[in-house]
A and B are shown apart, each in its own frame.
Chain A
Amino acid sequence: MNFIQTLKIALRALRTNKMRSFLTMLGIIIGIAAVIAMMAVGTGASYVISQQIASIGSNIILVLPGSTTSGGMRTGSGGAQTLSSDDARAIMAECPSVAYAAGTVRTAGQIVSGNMNWSSVVMGGTPELFEIREWPVVSGRPISQEDENGALKVCLLGQTVAENLFGSADPVGNIIRIKKIPFTVIGILDRKGQSPQGQDQDDAVFVPLRTAQRNLVRSQRSGIVSAIIVKAENGEVIDTAESEIKALLNQRHRISNAKEPDFSTRNLSEILAVAEQSSKAMSLLLGAVASISLIVGGIGIMNIMLVSVTERTREIGIRMAIGAKKNDILLQFMTEAVLLTMLGGLIGIALGAGGATAVSRMLEWPTMISFQSIAIAFVFSGAVGIFFGFYPAKKAAGLNPIDALRYE
């Protein structure tokens, strides 16, 4: 008996009980739709996370004041003022695996332009900062070493700040006031988007580090920075760079016991790993939920197939009397079950993809439907059919022809 014939018989059987077939498929449809939608949301989310992490810049190490305990809890970081501009310069000059290092300070403040005002983050940073973060200006010019050396009152605006203060007009050359101090806008930075923590990175104003240290932040000593951001030469030496920095700072800060430093370092690839891990855990959870719904759907299929075998005992008897072999009957019922689940799978894929697209449209939530997830869903739905269809099909094939023929 050929495959097309088997398929035809199965299709006819399913058509005979349209409503029942549909209801049976519903379990699979829901399961598969859930898998597809969840995978779409999950992949979309992890894509965005990796995008955001990439937006910080690659091969980056953060050096923060204050120490971490061995458990990873940061202690005394808030008020600690243990890092200086000199540390940043030394790291860049003396650590061979480091490409750039930039000291930064950070404050928040009211920014005024004419009658417009906007409160935003103000970052002070040396010119290297923009190399490290791979963040070019789109109009005007970047902060130069002369701006830094002279502690000039110039600033770069992030896109969000520029839009809120100047609308569509070009801000370059205008004067704005940061904490009442006038600054000249020298350039506009490219758009960066959200950070992994969900902050708008474009909602910031950048000034030279020394300018910020003198005019915008208060500290016990001059030259204090709130963080040093470092770029390693490349991805392979990032760990080397980190230990070089630690060694250098321990020496500079005269720390005898290396277990109690007055600074801590954070490697962004670690953050990336954490993000990846949590997105993996998420996928696993979603996968578990989806598998449960598929199993429930599969049990539904098995149940209906058993009913179907009983109902069609006489038909099975007729087929056997006429020359159907055990395998023909087995295959017939298996085909029916697999057809049910695969059809359900296809509908589920369509629904899941449609649902994911609708979600991404309405909630502006990024979703990505990968070919892989569709293939997995399709194969899985077929597998559910084979697994749960086997027992009923086996039962049908094992019937005795005479008993089956006599069955009322």
Chain B
Amino acid sequence: MSIVISLTDIRRVFIMGDQQFEALKGVSFDIAPGEFVAIMGASGSGKSTCMNILGCLDLPTSGRYLLDGGDVGGMSTDQLADIRNKKLGFVFQGFNLLARTPAIENVELPLVYAGLHSKERRQQALIAMEQVGLSGKENNHPSQLSGGQQQRVAIARALVNNPAVILADEPTGNLDSSTTEEIMGLFTALNRQGITIIMVTHEHDVAAYAGRQITFKDGRIISDLQTSQACQAGQAGQKA
């Protein structure tokens, strides 16, 4: 089985003045292409810290991270920027779109930094907008879109570069239940097309869309299960 992401004994220590805090205490897992993984766990358990490392926004204090076969450790900031641009797509809880900028230009942004010409950019951005079902809203500014629509724009932006992996940190955290269902439907559809998705969530019914659930506790992985088992484990956890 091929592997797109491989973490080996990842540790992340934050230093604040004379205090040290180890947010990740040796995390290891492999993810195969086309997997849909949900990361769960209590607040402060290190999920976002882990996602930042996966997203090459942060570097581990120790441990090895292989992305698409390449070792991320020891790369320059510009090389990391390039990886974020070409291999990864981000979806954030707070959407993180550029204000006062039309939706289509938000979607084009990764392609701008990839150095594509405006014609190609527009073409690919339109396809991505269509994929997330936002055709016709290209020229709306974020403030002229609903929360769900804004998150779709963010997903289109994550998609547009044909990344190997989409990373989503609580993508439905700011959305109501019906919009959450829409967005999760979209993720499922994208996953069926073969895109690897790693998603952090607090909600079990959201996590249920994923084929695999990894649960964190105090900077360690306490369970790593395929879907059916994960559901049971989750319910057991709630009862306890």
A322 touches B110 (CB 8 A): yes
A321 touches B57 (CB 8 A): yes
List A307-325 residues whose CB lies under 8 Å from chain B. Answer: 314-315, 317-325
- Count of A-B residue pairs with CB < 8 Å: 60
A321 touches B55 (CB 8 A): yes
B81 touches A324 (CB 8 A): yes
Question: How far, in angstroms, from A12 to B99 measured CA to CA in the complex?
Answer: 11
B60 to chain A, nearest CB (A): 13
Chain A residue nearest in CB terms to B55: A321
Q: Which of B61-69, B112-120, B175-183, B214-222 contacts A (4 or more CB under 8 A)?
A: B112-120
B84 touches A321 (CB 8 A): yes
- Confirm or deny: A191 has a beta carbon within 8 angstroms of a beta carbon on chain B: no
Residues of A within 8 A of B97 (CB): 318
Q: How many residues of A contact B (CB 8 A)?
A: 22
- Confirm or deny: B77 has a beta carbon within 8 angstroms of a beta carbon on chain A: yes
A1-B113, A2-B115, A12-B101 known; A326 and B96 CB under 8 Å?
no
Question: How far, in angstroms, from A401 to B98 measured CA to CA in the complex?
Answer: 15
Residues of A within 8 A of B110 (CB): 322-323
Chain B residue nearest in CB terms to A398: B77
Question: How far, in angstroms, from A320 to B57 measured CA to CA in the complex?
Answer: 9
Question: How far, in angstroms, from A18 to B92 measured CA to CA in the complex?
Answer: 31
- Confirm or deny: B152 has a beta carbon within 8 angstroms of a beta carbon on chain A: no
B77 touches A315 (CB 8 A): no
Question: How far, in angstroms, from A5 to B118 measured CA to CA in the complex?
Answer: 9
B85 touches A322 (CB 8 A): yes
Max chain A Cβ within 10 angstroms of own Cβ: one of B97, B98, B118, B157:
B98
- Confirm or deny: B30 has a beta carbon within 8 angstroms of a beta carbon on chain A: no
Question: How far, in angstroms, from A2 to B52 measured CA to CA in the complex?
Answer: 28
- Confirm or deny: B71 has a beta carbon within 8 angstroms of a beta carbon on chain A: no
Question: How far, in angstroms, from A328 to B157 measured CA to CA in the complex?
Answer: 19
A315 touches B113 (CB 8 A): no
- Confirm or deny: A372 has a beta carbon within 8 angstroms of a beta carbon on chain B: no
Contact of B113 among A12, A317, A324, A402 (CB under 8 A): A324
Residues of B within 8 A of A322 (CB): 84-85, 90, 109-110, 113, 157
B77 touches A326 (CB 8 A): yes
- Confirm or deny: A90 has a beta carbon within 8 angstroms of a beta carbon on chain B: no
A314-B96, A318-B98, A323-B81 known; A328 and B57 CB under 8 Å?
no
Max chain B Cβ within 10 angstroms of own Cβ: one of A322, A328, A405:
A322
- Confirm or deny: B18 has a beta carbon within 8 angstroms of a beta carbon on chain A: no
- Confirm or deny: B58 has a beta carbon within 8 angstroms of a beta carbon on chain A: yes
Interface 0/1 of A382-406, CB less than 8 Å to B: 0000000000000000000110010
Interface 0/1 of B73-89, CB less than 8 Å to A: 00001100110111000
Interface 0/1 of B97-108, CB less than 8 Å to A: 111110000000
B182 to chain A, nearest CB (A): 23
List A321-374 residues whose CB lies under 8 Å from chain B. Answer: 321-328
Question: How far, in angstroms, from A317 to B85 measured CA to CA in the complex?
Answer: 13
Question: How far, in angstroms, from A115 to B126 measured CA to CA in the complex?
Answer: 94
Chain B residues with a Cβ under 8 A of chain A: 52, 55, 57-58, 77-78, 81-82, 84-86, 90, 92, 96-101, 109-110, 112-115, 118, 157, 161
Can you name 9 A-B pairs with beta carbons within 8 Å? A12-B100, A319-B109, A322-B109, A322-B110, A323-B84, A323-B114, A325-B81, A401-B57, A402-B52
